[in-house]
Amino acid sequence: MKKGKVYLIGAGPGDIGLLTIKGMKCLQKAEVVVYDFHLNAQILNYINHDAEFIYAGKRGGHHAMTQDEINQALVDKAKEGKIVCRLKGGDPFVFGRGGEEAEVLVKEGIEFEVIPGVSSSIAAPAYAGIPLTHRKYSSSFAVITGNEDITKPESSIDWTKFANGFDTLVFLMGVKNIGAITSKLIEHGKSPDTPTAVVRWGTRPDQKTVVSTLKDIAGLVKEENIKPPAVMVVGNVVKLRDTLKWYENKPLFGQRILITREYTKDYEPLEDLGAEIFGFQTIEIAPPESYKELDESIDKVETYNWIIFTSANGFKYFMQRLLDKNKDLRDLRGIKICAIGTKTAEAIRNYGIKVDLIPEEFNAEGLIETFIKGQGSRVKGQELKGIKILLPRAEVAREVFPQKVRELGGEIDTPAAYRAIKPEKHGKRLKRFLKEGRISVATFTSAATFNNFVDIMGDDAIEILKDVTIAVIGPVTAKAIEKAGLKVSIMPKEATIKAMVDEIIQWAAR
């Protein structure tokens, strides 16, 4: 029987880039994932969607599962022979109860590994420009729980030692008790004028940092309505924040950008400039329901003068089917290739195929204008008579170009090479983020990505988008969104993701 195993994985404090490579590798082979609330939900997008997801988080004091129930779930799933990932915010062994979970696994004879994560005790101050140690200010630091009832007689916190024995103190989960914590430190010898900072949602676009003295920080936290999760740093290193703060100085700091299609490297400049990407894919690419029409076209492929690819997906699925039909590149000899867009052209060239034509505008209208102007052999003036075109495309596509070709006397076949489907998912967290104003820009790369978004979000989809800046890839997408009563604020001249990203960056700079 297959032997189960549990990985206790630290997801880091929020910035998805702080998840370790080893943690990511373990998650990608997970069969069961037991995860907490205080982590970047985008991490879940990297996990096999066939895995079983068990939410065990705590928000606002409400526990989805008790610790005993979590322990039992880990044991039960491992004993079923499954690879189980216990995904925890921060580090599992820094106030994460990972030690307790590991003890249970040892008792039950279950193999486990611990994958450390970046603790918020280190990351939040670092993103706020506060080093925990510095040759001039601090040679030691301590990390202390802030949610213990410090008024109880049997408190495990030695306040005298902490107040006088360490240069820097870091309190986790201490916002609710901040008044009592600061009073205890002062009472046991810490100077009331010690610089103190509180960092909320460290490493996230929502990060907010307030700085004061030990005696006044509790009042400032209340005044600024700072709520959990937050980290408090006490010590002279806080003085360095004005000089060293870097994250909050990034041009796109504070921007959380929704992308509704598969993430690509074209979105990376947004992250480099400080934005956080919220990936919520509303469209997935799948094979067509039937290959009948495509197979018929491939069987007579040598009869076409042109093959037009409107996307990298169309090219990918066409080539795969060509090979499945026991054909290869040699069967395309003599046929001219047209690509809609530079990304499509790049995908084709990477396959070793020359691209003969790329329209200036990356849409059907641009293709018509370029194609019938005569850019390509045997295309003369307004006549396409005798020209035979193959256009492998999505199952649902616009008829503008095929109709024009036929009007001008040309022949065109438009078999379905792939289809775009709506993924089965719920948008509970995204809906909450939108309602709370935590999404600044929503991007849509096709009418389908928008329409599927509306279907997934439900009746109030349009309402929750009204206060969000909307960016689109081109006019066809813009038309679908404006028809729904929403305003499109960002649209590039060139219909590519890269151009859209550039426009978002310029928009933010204004």
Q: Which amino acids are annotated catalytic?
A: 36, 58, 173
DSSP string covering 169-229 = EEEES-STTHHHHHHHHHHTT--TT-EEEEEESTTSTT-EEEEEETTTHHHHHHHTT--SS
Residue 182 and residue 215 in contact, taking contact as beta carbons nearer than 8 Å:
yes
User: What separation, in Å, do the N-terminal and C-terminal C-alpha atoms of the chain show?
Assistant: 61
C-alpha distances in Å from residue 444, one per residue of 28, 118, 155, 300? 27, 33, 53, 37
The CA-based angle 329-330-334, given to 5 degrees, is 100
Residues in the chain: 510
User: Cα separation of 30 and 53, whole Å?
Assistant: 10
Say what angle helices 312-324 and 292-299 make with each other, to 10 degrees. Answer: 70
User: What does the alpha-carbon distance between residue 502 and residue 510 come to, in Å, rounded to a whole number?
Assistant: 13
* Residue 369: CB atoms within 10 Å: 14
Neighbours of 99 (CB within 10 A): 13
Closest CA to 308 of 421, 400, 422, 407: 400
